[in-house]
Structure 1
Amino acid sequence: MVGSRQRTGGRSGPASRIRLALGLVAGAVAIALCTVLTDRFVLHAEWWQVRHTVTADPVAPQAAIGPPPGPLTASWERTTPMHHGPVAGYDSVAYDVAQGQVVVASGDGLEVRDARTGDSRWSYRRSGWTLLGWASTRSRLIAYFERDGHRGERLFAGFDALSGGLLWRREGERPAAASRATLRFPAGAGVVLATDEERRTVSGRSAETGARVWERRLPGRCRLFEGAAHPSDAREKLAALALDCPGRSRLLALDPATGRVVFDRTLGSPESPEVAMLDGVTLASDGTALRAFGPKGSLLAAWKGDAVCGDEMCPAVIADGRLVVVHHPEGERKPRHEEGEGGEEGEGERSTDDENGDQERYGDSAARMEAVDVSSGALVWRRAVPAYAALAQAGDRIYALRPRLSEALLPAGVDIVSPDRGAATTAPAPLAVDPDLPGVRPWMAAAGGLLYVAYAESPPRPEGRARLAALRGGATGTGPAELGGVPESDWPDACELLSRPDLAKEHLDAYVRRPTRAHVGSVKLPHAVSCTYEPPEPGRPKKGESGKQGKGGKGPGRSGEPSPGGTRSGGPSASPGGTPDPGKEPIIRGLTVSVRWVAPNEGTAGRLLDALRSTQAQARPRRDLGDEAYELGPTAGTIALRVGRVIVVVDTDRPPGAAARIAYRLRHPARP
């Protein structure tokens, strides 16, 4: 008979309890081990999180030249969706051109393309992580990621810029003063700048290995700004950081190789400044002034005003030893001695002869472009210019981006400015740019005979996307370069687009026409580019009767003239007082027909119309009006369409459907 260790009453002995305890401990250890292994090899595993492509194809650097003056055409174009991650405000797309490559940085990760063809070379993305910063120095690129929903989990990754090969990874630290607008943080001399959790120290890490090279405590009770639009910038030999200090912000410039302080300057406001670094010049705009500092921190120039740069940094470049800045007119430049430094205004200060004429030409949208000698601080030249959205420099040329070639016309424009005296030539660009769209600031760079332009687009909604276009010199044509080579005689009169029978059928033959004219650079278009139709005022005197009358209504603000086939009073739809009878037909209000552009061919016109559509938050195709017609905006009051190689826009206030009827008549004019 075998004895049992089971006690009477069903109670187990000490050995059973020990085995049970050991089993529980073993189970807990197994669960913990599975959790750690799952977290390490599944949740944080590189094999499923990372999408990384590399290349062995060589690429040659590009010469520092842009396209010649004249019309431009697209060599290649690419779009990038905007990444709306968990960190608000970091959904922009940024670009850089270097070493024959274009770097595209967004919340999704890094994408590097061949600058000549736009073909992809290498890329790096992490699923479940968002790229919140990037930097470049020498032949290295560094990316900074945060895990979605877990901002405490941070990662630096260093890459070979040409092949995309991963060099190193480090966890824990964060980049020093990353820009919310461009996602870029400072780096130079083979060192990237990082900071701690409290943002009170700055350290340099090797771009080759990620190892710490130096560390510096920030002065006083200062901290780095966090989440600012553009709180830092760098070149290979100098990095500039905006500091959040008690009282007023400061600008700290460091040698990135050693961390040595090159200069430390107090600014005029406690707000976060916008910082931009050029070769030998540092710019800081803090809402009180735009200040330019030399390589050692001496004040080169200052432009006073709370809106001198608007909401963004003033566009600026260095060319031929001159700092060329675009700012708003209220930012009057002050001599250096008024800012507390020695030195008088240079003797070379002068304005171009046509400054006043340009100011009148550009009206309320006019800005100032000034060239300041970097060595002396003297103002070399100054002129009124359009509100340029971006500048780029290559060789002895400055490229300036106009969001609109002219206020009344559709395409963007590019001015090529001479740095020695400010003279400019203008040409259209095959783009439609709206600088107010979020996601990417208009940006330009020039290299290898190409001009790179990046700007925001609206669709696909609601995310939006950014477009990068590489432009080259196009066909010159027989007309002026300002019109893309199209002769002025090819431009139709906007007030003649609607035929007399069409006006009669729409009961517009008694309406008054008010034409608007336009010019591009030195070219003045011979006909009206826009025509507004308005009901005549009741009791208005006819021609020959008493009362002053404008000269044929040939310009805005004058009395206008009746449409062809009608008179100022009477007509099929007019009441005895000259006003259309609302009892018979709906009154068309606010009707404007505009010629936005005449392209050299139908294909170019179609691409430009598509570019216009891409900048609209709401754009619906109108198949009933043809293959290339779109209804723009929340209502049916605006129609844009292509008629041959002419892009026409029809605007009406009411009634509904009037714009579509007018657009149909432009495509299918009635015969007399």
Structure 2
Amino acid sequence: MSRLTGTVRGRRGAVVVASRHRPGGRPESVGGVRVALGLVSGAVAIAVCAVLVDRFVLGAEWWQVRHTVTAEPVTPQREVGPPPGPLAVSWERTTRTHHGSVPGFDGVAYAVAQGQLVTASGRGLDVRDARTGGPRWSYRRSGWTLLGWASTRSRLVAYFERDGDRSDRLLVAFDALSGGLLWRREGTRPAAVSRTTLRWPAGSDVLLTTDEPRRTLFGVSAVTGRQVWRLPLPRGCRLAEGGARPSDGRETLTALALECAGGDRRGRLLAVDPAKGDVRWDRRLGSEESPDVSMLDGVTLASDGTALRAFGDDGEQFAAWAGDVCGDAMCPGVLAAGRLVVVYHPKGAKRGATRMEAVRVPSGRVEWRRDVPAYAALTQAGGEVFALRPRLSERLLPAGVDIVEPLDGRTATAPAPFAMNPDLPGARPWLAATGGLLYAAVPQAAPRPDGATRLVVLRGGLLGPGPAELDGVPAADWPDACALLKKPDLAAARMPGHRSAPAYASAGGVRLPHPVSCAYEPRHRDSGGAADRPPLADHRERRTRDPSASPSGTASPSNRPTGPGHEEGAAGGFTVSVRWTARTDQAASRMLDALQATQAQSRRRRDIGADEAYEIGPTAGMIALRVARCVVVVEADRPPGAAARLARSVAYRLRAPS
């Protein structure tokens, strides 16, 4: 039985109060309170543990950040590129494509400044010595993707978003030379990040940011991470995000594309002083589309599909090219010797026509213009313009570099020691020149399936006995493409009744004396003794295409010959092309490797008898091979296995003494 106990003392005596106790003597009401308190304490402990785990484990820097710094000084570089003539590789590096949670921001971007080369990709930042390629500092965050970066004076700032949660944003600021961490800021959104360069505007030690509706512009100190000014955008307007390059900037001026509602829905270009947040000028454009913006030293370029427009620092338009002259990418342009040099596609010209034009600044007077290859990128240094051409020549393998004199357009050409396909997805081709070096970045398909961007740093090479346009190799060293197969070789490949048609090539002002390509066609059709096949020229044009003009490098089914005489297994036409003759075996090997790296499908062949060979494309219809200094491509779709048989004969003829 339970006992009754308890006494309350008042003024007149004691009053006994009854209270039930458990057998152990503990009151039941007190025990219930303790149980409740225990449950509350447990819940609080669990919540605190969850917060601590999220902050100090899941969100901790020590496990998700890989950050290296340096205390080594760096040598500044002079603003000058390599001299005219052959080019050699100083150093190179490949950066793999990173596919994050945000589509369109999976490219790789580069910049050269203060003696350093910065590589920005979805994986993070990698900063190297621009002269040697040696590592200096880097920063990566596991579970986060870098979607933008900005640079101003001696500060570099990276913008990250957590994978799977775009609302979780982070700005991280670094000392540009050492990589030392300056500050972090959460929740801030950069203003108008470019998908092409991953850059967003900054200047005068101020970063430009915006709010969620993109209707207000903020200035954030790159030194402290604190907001220093606020600028509401014009009524009914907001920052454009749709363009590949919706903004660009220099240290003293930033240009941003605006999308505006209302009666006049044309795009607008707003120029802002990044130091104070003052509007310098505001201009209407000609289309509702978001323009691409590019800023040079004193010139702002904007392309919106209706025209390419050039504005001076005061906002006055001094030049314009009407029409969709830039296509899918911003027109390459540089400012050199007081002239704006741009490359564009003239309105109304035949498809693929490309023109370079020099315009005097600020008068807008055209000083010269000429037709040029479809340059993939431009840069300037030391008063010279450097232009990257996807092909040295239509039928040759290497890319080319033109050095253009901005005063009159005179050009010197040299082969680049790599191959490129500008149509590959990922990073756009990029070019920069400083310190006597030329920096070129091009997309490649390898490593497959996602690909990468290849950075090649070039210096002036040694002069050879031959012309610089052929990398110093004498033109007589090139083999005759039509002499690489004899009648017994055609008979062994079950193609005895073929006739050949030679094709020649030039590099710069040098014409090669021997055919570089030889197209073979059946002499007769199989349809009841029909006459000789007439459309040889058309077939030769199809067969002598550049093997890296498309990712697969093979003809589409719709382009393959059909009709009588082209049944499955019947012998068709084929082509043998001498794509390059290098100075050394090692240089030829690098060129063949660069070719296969630009192909979506490439497989090593060890049964051809060449020093190296690759099968390119979904079928065995194209074989690229190297024997000593020569790189040759054989294309034959029918009968099956014909390309390999012909390639073995070509390898044998190249090895045989002349």
Please, what TM-score do these two structures have when normalized by structure 2? 0.89
**Alignment partners' CA distance in 2, 1:34 and 1:228:** 45
Cα deviation, 1:423-445, whole Å, max 9, x if unaligned, reads 11110001111111111100000
Cα deviation, 1:195-229, whole Å, max 9, x if unaligned, reads 11111111111111111111100101111122531
Question: Quick one: which of 360, 379, 382 aligns to 1:373?
Answer: 360
Cα deviation, 1:264-300, whole Å, max 9, x if unaligned, reads 1111111111100000100111111111111111001
Aligned-pair distance for 1:2?
8.2
Q: Please name the residue that 2:275 is paired with.
A: 257
What aligned pairs does 1:304-319 form with structure 2 within 5 A after superposition?
Answer: 304-306=322-324, 308-319=325-336
What aligned pairs does 1:225-304 form with structure 2 within 5 A after superposition?
Answer: 225-226=240-241, 228-246=243-261, 247-304=265-322
Aligned-pair distance for 1:73?
1.1
Q: Please name the residue that 2:429 is paired with.
A: 442
Query: Which letter does structure 2 place at the counterpart of 1:326?
Result: V
Query: Which letter does structure 1 place at the counterpart of 2:475?
Result: E
Question: Quick one: which of 488, 500, 503 aligns to 1:516?
Answer: 503
Cα deviation, 1:115-158, whole Å, max 9, x if unaligned, reads 00111100011111111110111111010111111211111111
**Alignment partners' CA distance in 2, 1:195 and 1:227:** 16
Query: Which letter does structure 1 place at the counterpart of 2:627?
Result: V
Q: Please name the residue that 1:634 is paired with.
A: 618
Aligned-pair distance for 1:492?
1.3
Cα deviation, 1:460-484, whole Å, max 9, x if unaligned, reads 2222111111001112211111111
- SS in structure 2 opposite 1:204? strand
Aligned-pair distance for 1:512?
1.2
**Alignment partners' CA distance in 2, 1:586 and 1:92:** 43
Q: Please name the residue that 1:23 is paired with.
A: 38
**Alignment partners' CA distance in 1, 2:242 and 2:637:** 42
Q: Please name the residue that 2:9 is paired with.
A: none
Residues 17-26 or 163-172, more deviating:
17-26
Q: Please name the residue that 1:110 is paired with.
A: 125
Where structure 1 has 5 or more consecutive residues not aligned to the other structure, the ranges are 333-362, 543-547, 558-579
Query: Which letter does structure 2 place at the counterpart of 1:166?
Result: L
**Alignment partners' CA distance in 1, 2:441 and 2:145:** 22
Query: Which letter does structure 2 place at the counterpart of 1:665?
Result: S
Aligned-pair distance for 1:654?
1.4
Question: Quick one: which of 478, 484, 504 aligns to 2:465?
Answer: 478
**Alignment partners' CA distance in 1, 2:611 and 2:483:** 24
**Alignment partners' CA distance in 1, 2:456 and 2:535:** 49
**Alignment partners' CA distance in 1, 2:33 and 2:240:** 59
Aligned-pair distance for 1:627?
4.5
Aligned-pair distance for 1:525?
1.2
Aligned-pair distance for 1:503?
2.2
- SS in structure 2 opposite 1:325? strand
Query: Which letter does structure 1 place at the counterpart of 2:454?
Result: R
2:180 counterpart of 1:165? yes
2:322 counterpart of 1:322? no
Aligned-pair distance for 1:114?
0.3
**Alignment partners' CA distance in 2, 1:78 and 1:91:** 18
- SS in structure 1 opposite 2:518? strand
**Alignment partners' CA distance in 2, 1:282 and 1:582:** 56
Q: Please name the residue that 1:617 is paired with.
A: 600
- SS in structure 2 opposite 1:659? helix
Greater Rg by CA? 2
- SS in structure 2 opposite 1:26? helix
- SS in structure 1 opposite 2:607? helix
Residues 532-541 or 651-660, more deviating:
532-541
**Alignment partners' CA distance in 2, 1:619 and 1:523:** 32
Aligned-pair distance for 1:331?
7.2
- SS in structure 1 opposite 2:599? coil
Question: Quick one: which of 520, 528, 540 aligns to 1:533?
Answer: 520
Aligned-pair distance for 1:404?
0.7
Q: Please name the residue that 1:649 is paired with.
A: 633
**Alignment partners' CA distance in 1, 2:347 and 2:64:** 51
Identity score, percent? 65
2:62 counterpart of 1:44? no
Q: In 2, are the aligned partners of 1:650 and 1:659 still within 8 Å (CA)?
A: yes
Where structure 2 has 5 or more consecutive residues not aligned to the other structure, the ranges are 5-19, 542-563
Query: Which letter does structure 2 place at the counterpart of 1:200?
Result: R
Query: Which letter does structure 1 place at the counterpart of 2:320?
Result: A
Aligned-pair distance for 1:16?
2.2
Q: Please name the residue that 1:430 is paired with.
A: 417
Q: Please name the residue that 2:202 is paired with.
A: 187
**Alignment partners' CA distance in 2, 1:456 and 1:425:** 25
**Alignment partners' CA distance in 2, 1:601 and 1:106:** 34
Query: Which letter does structure 2 place at the counterpart of 1:262?
Result: R
TM-aligned CA distance change 1:462 to 1:582, over 3 Å: closer
TM-aligned CA distance change 1:598 to 1:627, over 3 Å: closer
Q: Please name the residue that 2:546 is paired with.
A: none
2:420 counterpart of 1:405? no
- SS in structure 1 opposite 2:482? helix
Q: In 1, are the aligned partners of 2:398 and 2:580 still within 8 Å (CA)?
A: yes
2:112 counterpart of 1:129? no
2:213 counterpart of 1:198? yes
Count of residue correspondences: 610
Query: Which letter does structure 1 place at the counterpart of 2:298?
Result: G
**Alignment partners' CA distance in 2, 1:184 and 1:582:** 53
Q: In 2, are the aligned partners of 1:303 and 1:331 still within 8 Å (CA)?
A: no
Question: Quick one: which of 638, 651, 655 aligns to 1:667?
Answer: 651
Aligned-pair distance for 1:668?
2.1
Q: In 2, are the aligned partners of 1:178 and 1:227 still within 8 Å (CA)?
A: no
Query: Which letter does structure 2 place at the counterpart of 1:469?
Result: V
**Alignment partners' CA distance in 2, 1:147 and 1:203:** 23
Query: Which letter does structure 2 place at the counterpart of 1:602?
Result: D
Cα deviation, 1:302-324, whole Å, max 9, x if unaligned, reads 11112x10100000000001000
Q: In 2, are the aligned partners of 1:643 and 1:666 still within 8 Å (CA)?
A: no
Please, what TM-score do these two structures have when normalized by structure 1? 0.87
Query: Which letter does structure 1 place at the counterpart of 2:646?
Result: I
**Alignment partners' CA distance in 1, 2:460 and 2:388:** 15
Query: Which letter does structure 1 place at the counterpart of 2:431?
Result: M
Q: In 1, are the aligned partners of 2:588 and 2:626 still within 8 Å (CA)?
A: yes
2:595 counterpart of 1:608? no
Query: Which letter does structure 1 place at the counterpart of 2:367?
Result: V
- SS in structure 2 opposite 1:656? coil
**Alignment partners' CA distance in 1, 2:573 and 2:218:** 61
Cα deviation, 1:140-195, whole Å, max 9, x if unaligned, reads 10101111112111111111100000111111111000011211101111111111
Query: Which letter does structure 1 place at the counterpart of 2:635?
Result: D
Aligned-pair distance for 1:505?
2.3
**Alignment partners' CA distance in 1, 2:540 and 2:43:** 84
Aligned-pair distance for 1:586?
5.2
Q: In 2, are the aligned partners of 1:640 and 1:648 still within 8 Å (CA)?
A: yes
Cα deviation, 1:520-546, whole Å, max 9, x if unaligned, reads 11111111111111011357889xxxx
Aligned-pair distance for 1:238?
0.6
2:400 counterpart of 1:417? no
Aligned-pair distance for 1:501?
2.1
Cα deviation, 1:23-71, whole Å, max 9, x if unaligned, reads 1111111011001111111111111111100000000110001111111
